Amino acid sequence: ARRVSTRIAAITPSATLAVDAKAGELKARGRPVIGFGAGQPDFPTPDYILAAAEDAVHQRVNHGYTAAAGLPELREAIATKTERDSGVEIEPSQVLVTNGGKQAVYSAMATLCDPGDEVLLPAPYWTTYPESIKLAGGVPVQVTADESTGYRVTVEQLEAARTERTKALLFNSPSNPTGAVYPREEVEAIGRWALEHGIWVITDEIYEHLVYDGARAHSISAVVPELADTTLVLNGVAKTYSMTGWRVGWIAGPQDVIKAAASYQSHLCGNVANVSQRAALAAVAGPLDAVAEMRTAFDTRRRKIVELLGRIPGVDCPTPQGAFYAYPSVKALLGKPLRGSTPTNTVELADLLLEHAEVAVVPGEAFGTRGYFRFSYALAEEDLAEGVRRVGELLSEIN
């Protein structure tokens, strides 16, 4: 008999974590690996947030459970922040505090999907999405966009993938892994289409503040207000405040769905760590100065990496407008000999880069599209330049 359930055995392990682990192993053995795998800002959590957490540790009330849906003060601050940043008015009762954006994704799926419900999944997608859809009993339906459209899907593509079983669209702008940011008119077109067909929108806005070149992250229910009753907004403090390890995210949506998701959460994990919620409260209720500084630093690196990657023959790197990732195509380099092997996919090519150039990148297969690499530019500029130099040197051996 099977020791592990079919459902859990079918999970593909997180490829981004796998790359990090492999790179970490080589580093531990003394190899000077440069890692472009990280999905987290390399800045420290701002001091005023740390101070709030320290205070919280010493207040006796914070040893206990909180309400399953989150601290009332935090839910209120998130409602206020949603109006400030997205222009959407919500009540605190429309917010569920989750263990990171990751749990927000999973809980949203679990709360909306019945077995067999289809979720339209624009690709390249964040690697956690298909797994969380499947775990929740849903069926991911991939809709792929490539560099020719800046990795943005069109309404025509979505419409072609729609069936009677289509329950929801998973929308992510700015995108991990491509850095694509949908302009307002495209958000509106997609929103109108979803509204017309009664399709829920699950919109992951975790990179909302990391946008460049004057791009703006438009919250879909701000653009199409009638969608509010069938939209779940996913967000969190990880990327905006450099708080990945604190594990605080949230879902904002219609009251009935949030209530159901909170009831699920009450059995799943009880609540998010009390002290982490206090820290998140300081973050969400506070200013956006720290993220403005990070954005400036990321922007400099973004320009640098796009420029450097663009000089490597066979590498085609559209300019990302958000998040902290570049997603070049390396399709032109596949199927050609390199150091004794002939990589036909980007998993193999990424392995060669790690082995011979001591550079870790995440292969496009992790995001549903072969022929690409994801480079996170959340690393020091010198390392970034040296890493891309090594990539260029090795890849120039092809042909």
3-state secondary structure 341-387: ECCCCHHHHHHHHHHHHCEECEEHHHHCCCCEEEEECCCCHHHHHHH
User: Counting contacts by CB under 6 A, is residue 14 touching ligand PLP?
Assistant: no
Q: Which residues, 187 to 206, sit near ligand PLP by CB under 6 A? A: 204, 206
User: Counting contacts by CB under 6 A, is residue 238 touching ligand PLP?
Assistant: yes
Among 35, 39, 150, 328, binds ligand PLP (CB under 6 A): 39
DSSP lists the bridge partners of residue 140 as 119
Residue closer to ligand PLP (CB basis): 212 or 312:
212
Residue closer to ligand PLP (CB basis): 195 or 206:
206
212-250 burial, b for 16+ CB within 10 Å, e for fewer? beebebbbbbbbbeebbebbbbbbbbbbbbbbbebbbbb
Among 22, 102, 134, 152, binds ligand PLP (CB under 6 A): 102
User: Counting contacts by CB under 6 A, is residue 101 touching ligand PLP?
Assistant: yes
Closest contact distance (angstroms) between CB of 151 and ligand PLP is 13
Site string for ligand PLP, 121-150 (x = CB under 6 A): -----x------------------------
Closest contact distance (angstroms) between CB of 238 and ligand PLP is 4
Cα-based distances in Å from 33 to 15, 322, 360, 389 = 18, 26, 7, 13
Residue closer to ligand PLP (CB basis): 217 or 394:
217
Among 176, 230, 231, 276, binds ligand PLP (CB under 6 A): 176
* Ramachandran angles phi, psi of 367, nearest 5°: -115, 15
The residue number whose beta carbon is nearest to ligand PLP equals 100
User: Counting contacts by CB under 6 A, is residue 172 touching ligand PLP?
Assistant: yes
If you ran DSSP here, which 8-state letter would residue 114 be given?
Answer: P
- 362, 339, 302, 377: CA torsion to nearest 10: 40
What are the start-end ranges of the H helices in 59-162? 72-86, 100-112, 128-135, 155-161
Residues lying near ligand PLP in the complex (CB under 6 A): 39, 100-102, 126, 172, 176, 204, 206, 236, 238, 244, 249
